[in-house]
Structure 1
């Protein structure tokens, strides 16, 4: 785990699970109504790249422009990864005399409007980070100076972002305060401010950041999992932040691994559809060496089956061919971008999932959570499909229509099948 992650994790203050659960029971599951939060955006789950997982606070315009150029030259932009999101630490520690956020002159000397124009000229979209409380997460942890959160400045900040050509706002709670009603007020205030600008911007929220629960608390207690925020935000983080690990022992009191987040998504009950998506957090594919190649394949597969936004976090300028090939896997991306309901579990262990596709075929994922290979029989009656089976990783048919489906899955890997 990198230093900026350790500091951020250490900053979270533990609150009682009963407090969070108590707030949850006092509010409706659906916090924002049935309509999408922001009209005209994210008909399918957004895809792009975010600076945080690799660079943390160590960002500047040279770095962001280089990543944007690599997004295009690698072919990932053509595959659908179009949002370039500048995460925390892009701003000056204080607002200007008019109360506006300004870009750090040492990090972004050309300014954020110029950065937005640079991205737009390359067919990309511009994303930016802001804090939903009085501080951003880096400020909360003490790794970046100031207190320039957007709480109380929503109209000013949304108008500033619109003037810069921003297409995506990542809005992070970053507070130990756990009252869900207070969260709803804060997130709705920015939603309404974005609406008032008249500029369509994807609105991505994380209601879990800064709130830590005991390790034995139920994952469903975190605000992102306990409520349906689809009418409040375009994208809502389901769990606490991801770390580049297969699984962690910290539970909801710290970072969560790929398998932990995938497990949480199996029972999520939010209404996900055009303009309102559950966010399983950023992809750790190509970030560090803690995840095996098979585990990285599993992350992409399970995120796609859940219909999660796909936001890469690796250094695109140093990306190896295997990472580029995985991120651009056409069969898997097609599953993610299909707007039918997310996958449902059809096995007792929750590791076999099925998703009915818009064209009438059925997608099936089979995950092997163990370290050793195992052979699995897929019950055709359970998945409700009798057609021929295609391996989505290779694009080849592997089983005839009606024949038994018996496959061997490597340790940590996920088989991806399309039936029909």
Structure 2
């Protein structure tokens, strides 16, 4: 039943409309995002999915076929345009009767909608719990086992519908980590699944979500990924070092890299973070391993990630409010003393040679072995 790993052999990279445009997104915005992915070099760096989030939906016709609203006059033409740029197009729906923004969901129309998406040329579906939570509550009440079964059945139903079209689509579960989704999503066809509630463009929320992924690493791998939500890099709510922590942590997690900023107004700083080749290489490593937390003391954490070719990536995070020393981590770091690393953000060579390491507040040292 599981999706083929080749559909998402590495975790998806691209752009999603919600974080910046929310309900205002239009056909023109999506075309402009596609243009910007190409012009900025992001497409060539791996960002290939252009994902339309909620509010594209119009009404169903007398036969139940979903149509777009006035903001998206011709979805097939939009898909053709995105494809002409060497990119792929994503869309959004819900297993419930309504989406989060109150538009038409797919409940009772799963096969019909999947067929429509395939005819349009859609490559990626984000399927958002939303009103299906009310359906579960009404039918299952406090029966958690029944609720979990209903959740799986709803998501699996759309998976079967996608399969029946014959068109490969990345299938993204957006149901906030409910019912231990990571334990069953791969067998139910999910390529990625949200493990948390929504991210916000601030340090506290980003770190709460990102660092809570420790312990879920065994569920991730080629074709099936833990998803701690989209990137906020470039949206203005955090400073440079905090966005470097954000990108570093997502890379160590082998998390999807879905930019959520206005691509037409990227600063050089934002571009350098999103397009850092070493950070992307860590995230997209073909081994498909999610990193693990190997040491923690107070606000300090060290994460390690196995890379292909027997290489490693190491990240030293300081979540504290002042610069702090990793002196008490010397024993943990000593296992890497014979290895040569490059600092992803400074590009300098680095070794664990017994010297004390100090990391600034809300900062990270991300290292890739070479």
TM-score (norm: length of structure 2): 0.90
1:59 aligns with 2:25: yes
User: What is the CA distance between 1:245 and its match in structure 2?
Assistant: 1.3
Q: Deviations over 1:219-246 (max 9, x none)?
A: xx83356634122200100101101111
- Structure 1 residue aligned with 2:243: 296
- Structure 2 residue aligned with 1:240: 197
- Structure 2 residue aligned with 1:101: 66
For residues 340-419 of structure 1, the aligned pairs below 5 Å read 340-349=288-297, 351-377=301-327, 378-379=329-330, 381=332, 384-385=335-336, 386-399=338-351, 403-404=353-354, 406-419=356-369
For residues 112-127 of structure 1, the aligned pairs below 5 Å read 112-127=75-90
Q: CA-atom RMSD, angstroms?
A: 1.9
- Distance, in Å, in 1 between the alignment partners of 2:334 and 2:13 is 28
User: Matched residue of 2:66: which SS?
Assistant: coil
- Structure 1 residue aligned with 2:107: 151
1:200 aligns with 2:168: yes
The equivalent position to 1:266 in structure 2, one of 202, 210, 214, is 214
The 1:193/1:383 distance shift into structure 2, 3 A limit, reads farther
- Distance, in Å, in 1 between the alignment partners of 2:157 and 2:82 is 28
User: What is the CA distance between 1:274 and its match in structure 2?
Assistant: 1.2
Given that 2:126 and 2:173 are in contact with CA atoms closer than 8 Å, whether structure 1 keeps it comes out as: yes
Any stretches of 5+ residues in structure 2 without a counterpart?
A: 138-146
1:80 aligns with 2:46: yes
- Structure 2 residue aligned with 1:316: 263
User: What is the CA distance between 1:68 and its match in structure 2?
Assistant: 1.0
Given that 1:342 and 1:355 are in contact with CA atoms closer than 8 Å, whether structure 2 keeps it comes out as: yes
Q: Deviations over 1:62-100 (max 9, x none)?
A: 1111111111101111100000000000011x2112211
Given that 1:225 and 1:239 are in contact with CA atoms closer than 8 Å, whether structure 2 keeps it comes out as: no
Any stretches of 5+ residues in structure 1 without a counterpart?
A: 1-34, 140-145, 209-220, 248-256
The equivalent position to 1:136 in structure 2, one of 92, 99, 103, is 99
User: Matched residue of 2:56: which SS?
Assistant: coil
The equivalent position to 1:282 in structure 2, one of 211, 215, 230, is 230
Given that 1:364 and 1:383 are in contact with CA atoms closer than 8 Å, whether structure 2 keeps it comes out as: no
- Structure 2 residue aligned with 1:23: none
The 1:344/1:383 distance shift into structure 2, 3 A limit, reads farther
Given that 1:38 and 1:201 are in contact with CA atoms closer than 8 Å, whether structure 2 keeps it comes out as: no
- Distance, in Å, in 1 between the alignment partners of 2:194 and 2:221 is 15
- Structure 2 residue aligned with 1:307: 254
Q: Deviations over 1:360-409 (max 9, x none)?
A: 1211111111122222245464574231232122332133xx62253222
Given that 2:217 and 2:290 are in contact with CA atoms closer than 8 Å, whether structure 1 keeps it comes out as: no
- Distance, in Å, in 1 between the alignment partners of 2:100 and 2:347 is 42
1:89 aligns with 2:89: no
Given that 1:38 and 1:203 are in contact with CA atoms closer than 8 Å, whether structure 2 keeps it comes out as: no
Given that 2:5 and 2:224 are in contact with CA atoms closer than 8 Å, whether structure 1 keeps it comes out as: no
Given that 2:295 and 2:302 are in contact with CA atoms closer than 8 Å, whether structure 1 keeps it comes out as: yes
For residues 219-258 of structure 1, the aligned pairs below 5 Å read 222-223=178-179, 227-232=183-188, 233-247=190-204, 257-258=205-206
User: What is the CA distance between 1:132 and its match in structure 2?
Assistant: 1.4
- Distance, in Å, in 2 between the alignment partners of 1:174 and 1:404 is 51
Q: Which structure's residues are more often helix, by fraction?
A: 2
User: Matched residue of 1:171: which SS?
Assistant: strand
The 1:416/1:332 distance shift into structure 2, 3 A limit, reads same
Given that 1:228 and 1:270 are in contact with CA atoms closer than 8 Å, whether structure 2 keeps it comes out as: no
Given that 1:372 and 1:410 are in contact with CA atoms closer than 8 Å, whether structure 2 keeps it comes out as: yes
- Structure 2 residue aligned with 1:50: 16
User: Matched residue of 2:356: which SS?
Assistant: strand
The 1:380/1:200 distance shift into structure 2, 3 A limit, reads farther
Q: Deviations over 1:344-368 (max 9, x none)?
A: 1111347210011112121111111
- Distance, in Å, in 2 between the alignment partners of 1:68 and 1:136 is 25
